[in-house]
Homo-oligomer: A and B are copies of this chain.
Amino acid sequence: MIDVVILGGGNVAIQFANAFYKTKKVQLVQLYSRSKPAVFFIDNHIPTTSNLKDLIEADLYIIAISDDAISNFSKNLILKDKLVVHTSGSVALQDLHCVANKGVFYPLQTISKHKNLNFKKIPICIEANNEKDYKLLDTVANSISKKVYSINSEQRKSLHVAAVFVNNFVNHLYKIGNDICTTNNVDFEILKPLIIETAKKIVSLSPSDAQTGPAKRNDKKTIANHLDLLTDKQQKIYILLTDSIIGLKI
């Protein structure tokens, strides 16, 4: 049994706590949170503390707090010979300043409040400084997910920026689609099956092979018709992405 302490009271902390609670190989022995967790936790019997001095012995300490706070927070942790990891996609392993062995335990997913996440299909990207620690993280990650990847800090940085494109920016394009529908009195519901299908296509097809549409065909007539229907702001995005698909210098 691997004893784990989770440090944090936000969504990621609570989702991990709930996930570990259900596994057999990992025992959640303590939950540290500066204030009372905002999200419902599955079992009130797990010991909690708001004082770092009261941290108990464990094999693994998981810092699940906001990216900006990780570096400073870690300075207060004196856990010699223990393993401390953070859960951030954008923070390097070296930004952990604790007296401890260090690693990363990064779940690549948008983690929302109030939704009981099933981690099975969520990729967990792990990194450690030595093989023993790596093996421990691998065991912990495999106890909740079927998709565990070895990713170093450099790779993780690029994964994080790629995720901004396929998640944050994609969602913004959904918003523009929604805006166009609202302006023209069309139900955005009509587009939802297309949105799902577009995402699913990528599972079996490379994005290059899946590309269709007027830009791909360099269909100037349709492109001009489309631009007529858009606001200035929408036009700028339409033109930049169209030129990028066509392969023009942008």
Listed stretches A34-42, A57-65, A72-80, A189-197; interface member = A189-197
Chain B, Cβ-Cβ closest to A247: B233
Q: From residue A93, how far is it (CB to closest CB) to chain B in Å? A: 15
- Given A187-B149, A191-B159; A168-B211 close (CB under 8 Å): yes
Among the interface residues A90, A172, A214, which one has the most CB atoms of the partner chain B within 10 A? A172
- Given A155-B185, A181-B158, A244-B237; A166-B194 close (CB under 8 Å): yes
Q: Does A215 contact B (CB under 8 A)?
A: yes
Q: In whole angstroms, how far apart are the Cα atoms of A165 and B238 in the complex?
A: 8
Contact B168 A212 (CB under 8 A): yes
Partner of A172, one of B108, B181, B193, B244: B244
Q: In whole angstroms, how far apart are the Cα atoms of A160 and B195 in the complex?
A: 13
Give chain A's interface secondary structure class.
helix
Q: In whole angstroms, how far apart are the Cα atoms of A210 and B151 in the complex?
A: 27
Which residues from chain B contact A158 at a C-beta distance below 8 Å? 180-181, 183-184, 186, 229
Contact with B along A106-120 (1 / 0, CB 8 A): 001110000000000
Chain B, Cβ-Cβ closest to A196: B199
Q: In whole angstroms, how far apart are the Cα atoms of A238 and B165 in the complex?
A: 8
Task: List residues 201-243 of chain A with CB under 8 A from any CB of chain B.
Answer: 201-203, 206-208, 210-216, 219, 221-222, 225-226, 229-230, 233, 236-238, 240-241
Question: Which size bracket describes the interface of A in this complex?
Answer: 35 or more
Contact A202 B195 (CB under 8 A): yes
Contact B214 A168 (CB under 8 A): yes
Which residues from chain B contact A67 at a C-beta distance below 8 Å? 222
Q: In whole angstroms, how far apart are the Cα atoms of A222 and B109 in the complex?
A: 18
Which residues from chain B contact A176 at a C-beta distance below 8 Å? 162, 165
Which residues from chain B contact A245 at a C-beta distance below 8 Å? 168-169, 172
Q: Does A131 contact B (CB under 8 A)?
A: no
Q: Does A47 contact B (CB under 8 A)?
A: no
Taking beta carbons and an 8 Å cutoff, which residues of A are in contact with B? Answer: 67-68, 90, 108-110, 121-123, 125, 147, 149, 151, 154-155, 157-178, 180-181, 183-187, 189-203, 206-208, 210-216, 219, 221-222, 225-226, 229-230, 233, 236-238, 240-241, 244-245, 250
Q: What are 13 pairs between A and B in contact, CB < 8 Å? A: A68-B219, A68-B221, A110-B198, A164-B238, A165-B174, A165-B177, A167-B195, A167-B198, A168-B212, A168-B215, A172-B241, A199-B199, A237-B241
